[in-house]
């Protein structure tokens, strides 16, 4: 897709502007795919395993195309606002970015989020047998068709909890780094936009943390013998949540386009005809 096609697509009124900026990118579970331009752009690629495979040329060709179109649009916007991209001191910009990165990594909530990703890996790695045995046990119960048991429901619940934990495991850290980066850049550059953007990213992280807490609660219900390690994970997640709430007190109130704001309803036939009178 070239620049002009992209611009034309962006003008389609069916899309909610910016919905993809503060979502969790879990398109498979998203009820807004028909209103999302990012989904429309990636839809064909999602079905094409070649463009999803980092070892395949198609993946790199696709990435090249995305970078090229992005650069063309960036240049066009820069020209419109009279910004000379060649005048940017790239060395100085890289130095500043490095400073931001180092400051971001020092934030207590970023450290806590990184610690959580490692704790999850450890739990999953050390409980492979437990999960496999549980799958066998549920399969046996399903085969035996014992009244009063619901092995299929239990299996689905466990699968759902594991998928949720896996989905947000790294995303919480990434979103918190982005939020911290926004705050820090805002301080460095007196940039008024960054704090709002930071709140949006922090909100996505908060949602991820809360869903992960619920998912670990679900696993605890299924694996009561895992009480100690799971409670440990939950304590860490709850502490992280308090840290994020303290660092971004306005994050929960941030209205994510389309996701927190009700989509505009199409006018009814009566409203349309009364407008014509
Ligand atoms: S808004 Fe929904 S469909 Fe669009 S990128 Fe986010 S998760 Fe995917």
Mutate to test the pocket of ligand 1, among 38, 43, 200, 201 (most ligand atoms within 8 A of CB): 38
- For residue 37, report the distance from its CA to the centre of ligand 1, in Å: 8
CA of residue 78 to ligand 1 center, whole Å: 28
* SS3 state of residue 70: helix
The answer, yes or no, to whether any atom of ligand 1 lies below 6 A from the CB of 32, is: yes
Residues 111-146 pLDDT 10s: 999 999 999 999 999 999 999 999 999 999 999 988
pTM of the predicted model, to two decimals?
0.85
Ligand 1 center to residue 267 CA distance, Å?
Answer: 25
Q: Which of 239, 238, 193, 246 is nearest to 217 (CA)?
A: 238
How remote is the CA of residue 175 from the centroid of ligand 1, in Å?
15
Query: What backbone phi and psi angles, to 5 degrees, belong to 125?
Result: -65, -40
- Residue 203 burial (CB < 10 Å; 0-12/13-18/19+)? buried
Q: How far is CA 38 from CA 7, 131, 169, in A?
A: 13, 35, 23
- Residue 275, pLDDT > 50, answer no
CA of 34 to the centre of ligand 1 (A): 9
162 neighbors 120 (Cβ within 8 angstroms): no
- Picking from 254, 163, 158, 162, the residue whose alpha carbon sits closest to that of residue 206 is 254
> Which residue is it, tokens 């982005």?
178
In ligand 1, the atom with minimum distance to the C-alpha of 31 is 2
243: nearest Cα among 126, 115, 146: 115
Q: Closest Cα to atom 8, ligand 1: which residue?
A: 27
Express each pLDDT in 147-171 by its tens digit. 888 899 999 999 999 999 999 999 9
Please give the pLDDT value at position 196: 86
For ligand 1, pick from 16, 23, 167, 207 the residue to mutate: most ligand atoms within 8 Å of CB.
Answer: 23
Q: Which residue's CA is the nearest one to ligand 1's atom 3?
A: 33
Asked if 165 and 26 touch (Cβ cutoff 8 Å), the reply is no
pLDDT tens digits for 168-185? 999 999 999 999 998 888
For ligand 1, say whether the CB of 26 is within 6 Å of any of its atoms: yes
Angle 108-126/128-144 helices, nearest 10 degrees? 50
Give the side-chain half-sphere CA count within 13 A for 230.
20
Distance CA 47, CA 6 (A): 20
Lowest mean pLDDT among 34-43, 127-136, 192-201: 192-201
276: pLDDT strictly greater than 50 = no
Structure token digits, residue 79: 């020209």
CA 48, CA 61: separation in Å to the nearest integer?
A: 13
CA distance 114 to 174: 9
Q: Is the pLDDT of residue 105 over 90?
A: yes
257 and 17 Cβ atoms separated by less than 8 Å: yes
CB-ligand 1 contact for 123 (6 Å cutoff):
no
Task: Return the best residue to mutate from 27, 200, 207 for the ligand 1 pocket (most ligand atoms within 8 A of CB).
Answer: 27
Q: In a mutational test of the pocket of ligand 1, which residue from 15, 16, 18, 25 has the highest number of ligand atoms less than 8 Å from its CB?
A: 25
């Amino acid at each position: 897709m070239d620049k002009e096609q992209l611009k034309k697509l962006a003008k389609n009124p069916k899309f909610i502007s910016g919905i993809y900026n503060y979502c969790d990118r879990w398109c498979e579970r998203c009820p807004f795919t028909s209103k999302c331009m990012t989904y429309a752009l990636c839809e064909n690629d999602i079905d094409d395993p070649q463009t999803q495979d980092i070892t395949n040329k198609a993946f790199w060709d696709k990435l090249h195309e995305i970078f090229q179109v992005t650069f063309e649009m960036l240049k066009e916007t820069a020209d419109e606002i009279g910004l000379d991209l060649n005048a940017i001191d790239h060395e100085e910009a890289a130095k500043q970015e490095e400073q931001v990165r180092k400051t971001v990594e020092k934030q207590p909530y970023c450290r806590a989020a990184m610690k959580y990703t490692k704790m999850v890996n450890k739990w999953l790695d050390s409980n492979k047998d437990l999960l496999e045995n549980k799958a066998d046990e549920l399969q046996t119960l399903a085969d035996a068709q014992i009244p009063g048991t619901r092995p299929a429901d239990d299996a689905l619940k466990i699968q759902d909890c594991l998928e949720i934990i896996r989905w947000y495991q790294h995303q919480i850290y990434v979103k918190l780094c982005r939020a911290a980066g926004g705050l820090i850049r805002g301080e460095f550059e007196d940039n008024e936009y960054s704090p709002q953007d930071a709140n949006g990213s922090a909100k996505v992280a908060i949602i991820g943390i809360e869903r992960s807490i619920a998912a670990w609660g679900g696993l605890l219900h299924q694996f009561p013998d895992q009480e100690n390690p799971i409670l440990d994970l939950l304590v860490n997640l709850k502490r992280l949540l308090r840290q994020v709430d303290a660092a971004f007190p306005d994050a929960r109130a941030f209205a994510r386009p389309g996701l927190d704001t009700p989509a505009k309803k199409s006018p009814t036939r009566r409203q349309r005809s009364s407008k014509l009178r």
